[in-house]
Amino acid sequence: MMARARFLHGYRGEGPGAWLAAGCVALALLMVVALLALLAGRGLAHFWPTEIELVTLDDGERFAGRAVREERPVQGQAMPVERLYYTGNRDLDGTVWRWVDVERIAMRERPADLVVVERRRWGDFIGRVVDRNTEAGHLVLESIDGQRLIQPLAEVHKIVYPNAMSSFGKLVAWEQGVWRFLSEGPRSANTAGGVWPAIFGTVLMVLLMSLAVTPFGVLAAVYLNEIAPQGRLTRLVRIGVRNLAGVPSIVYGVFGLGVFVYGIGGTLDTWFFSERLPSPTFGTGGLLWASLTLALLTLPVVIVATEEGLARIPEAQREGALALGATRAETLRRVVLPMAVPAMLTGMILAIARAAGEVAPLMLVGVAKLAPQVPVDDEFPFLHLERKFMHLGYHIFDVGFYSGDIEAALPLVYATALLLVLVILVLNLTAIFLRHHVKARHGALQR
């Protein structure tokens, strides 16, 4: 006992164990802060209207663009310092990026009349507006090298003069850019526009998953801990549940594809939607099957967390209720389950944290690269569970690895990753608030 007391004092007091634990916590928090700072710095900076430079090279060539970054040679290598510019005008030049040797730059200017025209096709145009004919519905644009084009106003998303904007104007433009990112749909093969359908799809899928997994997980935990005979078979079931928590997520995706999509979905199509065959209705990936697949994936987490909470309830609580004349069902319903609600919510928090970031199973059971229409509208049944949907995690994967222009897509990857972290944080904080409320209410009732 004395040895145990000295051991605990080393961690609860000011011994080396306490300092080691505090250092680990500080390091973990520092890593989290560094991750959020990286995502926020590189993601949110994308929406700031950076000034456009008019660059003149030593041979007299001129071009306009936005400086992105510099590449410096490794120490000992005789290589020039190069600067990357975003020049836009893909339809005129065939590319939107240009590397320039810094030593070749003779002059850099920032004329106030340089404009950035965000277009629905061909990306940004960087140059000057020569004429604006609103009656005819077009702009006459001119690049720095003298090339002109007629741009229909219907295909213009926004016109910005970044060099002529004040700091306050840039802040307003930044806020508008962030809002459009949150409220609009994607465009230009997901390398521009917003992620609203992905936000809606992620949150809706997590909510449907929570509604599906919570009752089954709680009932399974109640049966294992309160009703089932505590023998060898029950222990084997517990071992199986804990092992299922470690199965790779892609395996659940294959199961969902085979059982939910092709099995149950194909049967539903045969019974109720035969007139639409061979075009499937439920026999293809969709929001319903994705939610059920992730519910199955997170089911072991909810069972284990709930059963741990049930096991921590003192046996005296059960015996006291039975001694007062309550039946076992009444004891379970009025005493045990209310005390286990915080553990149930803890399991739901862990399930949300895992499900919201999963991508691999969704690729098989319903996520789409582009689904600009959310699966909710004013047509009966209003919530269309058979439709495909967008997901923030898959959006990051698609834009980061399958975009035609990685340089242009990289800031959106950071911004979307930050948004996914914030969505998971909001969902978890909501569940944590509910857990705290239930614990406080239960404590008040006990007093």
Could you count the other beta carbons within 10 Å of the beta carbon of residue 344?
A: 22
Range with the poorest average pLDDT among 133-137, 245-249, 323-327, 329-333? 133-137
pLDDT for the residue numbered 331: 86
How much helix, strand and coil, in percent to the nearest 5, is found in the chain? 60, 15, 25
Element spanning 311, H or E: helix 287-311
In degrees to the nearest 10, what's the CA dihedral of 150, 153, 154, 156? Answer: 90
Q: Is 116 exposed, middle or buried (0-12, 13-18, 19+ CB in 10 A)?
A: buried
Compute CA distances 292 → 66, 189, 258, whole Å. Answer: 46, 29, 13
pLDDT for the residue numbered 51: 92
Per the prediction, the chain carries an average pLDDT of 85
Residue 375 clears pLDDT 50, i.e. is over it:
yes
Residue 318 clears pLDDT 90, i.e. is over it:
no
Q: How confident is the model at residue 125 (pLDDT cuts 50, 70, 90)?
A: very high
Residue 38 clears pLDDT 60, i.e. is over it:
yes
Q: In degrees rounded to 5, what are phi and psi of residue 115?
A: -125, 150
pLDDT above 90: percentage of residues in the chain:
26
Tokens in use for 253? 């995706």
How large is the average pLDDT for residues 261-285?
87
Residue 275 clears pLDDT 90, i.e. is over it:
no
Contacting residues for 178 by C-beta, under 8 A, at least 6 apart: 44, 47
Q: Which residue has the higher pLDDT, 115 or 16?
A: 115
pLDDT for the residue numbered 336: 86
pLDDT for the residue numbered 188: 72
Could you count the other beta carbons within 10 Å of the beta carbon of residue 347?
A: 28
Residue 446 clears pLDDT 50, i.e. is over it:
no
d(CA 82, CA 98): 10
Element spanning 101, H or E: strand 97-101
CA 258 and chain centroid, separation: 26
Residue 95 clears pLDDT 50, i.e. is over it:
yes
Residue 403 clears pLDDT 80, i.e. is over it:
no
pLDDT for the residue numbered 94: 85
How large is the average pLDDT for residues 416-423?
90
- Tell me which residue of 223, 447, 444, 216 sits closest to 332, measured CA to CA: 223
Whole-number CA gyration radius for the chain? 29
Q: How confident is the model at residue 376 (pLDDT cuts 50, 70, 90)?
A: confident
pLDDT for the residue numbered 294: 93
- Please say whether the beta carbons of 260 and 289 come within 8 A: yes
Compute CA distances 38 → 59, 145, 289, 425, whole Å. Answer: 39, 37, 35, 17
DSSP-assigned beta bridge partners for residue 118: 124, 158
CATH class of 196-446: mainly alpha
Residue 230 clears pLDDT 90, i.e. is over it:
no
- Mind spelling out the 3-state secondary structure of 170-232? HHHHHHHHHHHHHHCCEECCCCEECCHHHHHHHHHHHHHHHHHHHHHHHHHHHHHHHHCCCCH
Residue 376 three-state SS: strand
Contacting residues for 322 by C-beta, under 8 A, at least 6 apart: 328, 331
pLDDT for the residue numbered 165: 92
How large is the average pLDDT for residues 424-441?
80
d(CA 348, CA 212): 11
Residue 76 clears pLDDT 70, i.e. is over it:
no
DSSP-assigned beta bridge partners for residue 154: none
d(CA 68, CA 208): 42
pLDDT for the residue numbered 126: 92
How large is the average pLDDT for residues 147-165?
90
Residue 21 clears pLDDT 80, i.e. is over it:
yes
| Cis before 152 (ω within 30) | no
d(CA 388, CA 5): 59
How large is the average pLDDT for residues 193-198?
87
Q: How confident is the model at residue 445 (pLDDT cuts 50, 70, 90)?
A: very low
pLDDT for the residue numbered 4: 52
How large is the average pLDDT for residues 408-418?
88
- Burial of 78-99, coded b for 16+ CB within 10 Å and e otherwise, reads eeeebbbbbbbbbebeeebbee
What residue spans define the domains of the chain? 53-165, 196-446
pLDDT for the residue numbered 1: 47
The residue type of 137 is G
Residue 165 three-state SS: coil
- Please say whether the beta carbons of 367 and 392 come within 8 A: no
pLDDT for the residue numbered 179: 92
pLDDT for the residue numbered 77: 67
pLDDT for the residue numbered 382: 81
Residue 244 clears pLDDT 90, i.e. is over it:
no
- Please say whether the beta carbons of 292 and 265 come within 8 A: no
How large is the average pLDDT for residues 218-222?
91
How large is the average pLDDT for residues 396-411?
82
Residue with tokens 């099995």: 263
pLDDT for the residue numbered 292: 93
DSSP-assigned beta bridge partners for residue 69: 84
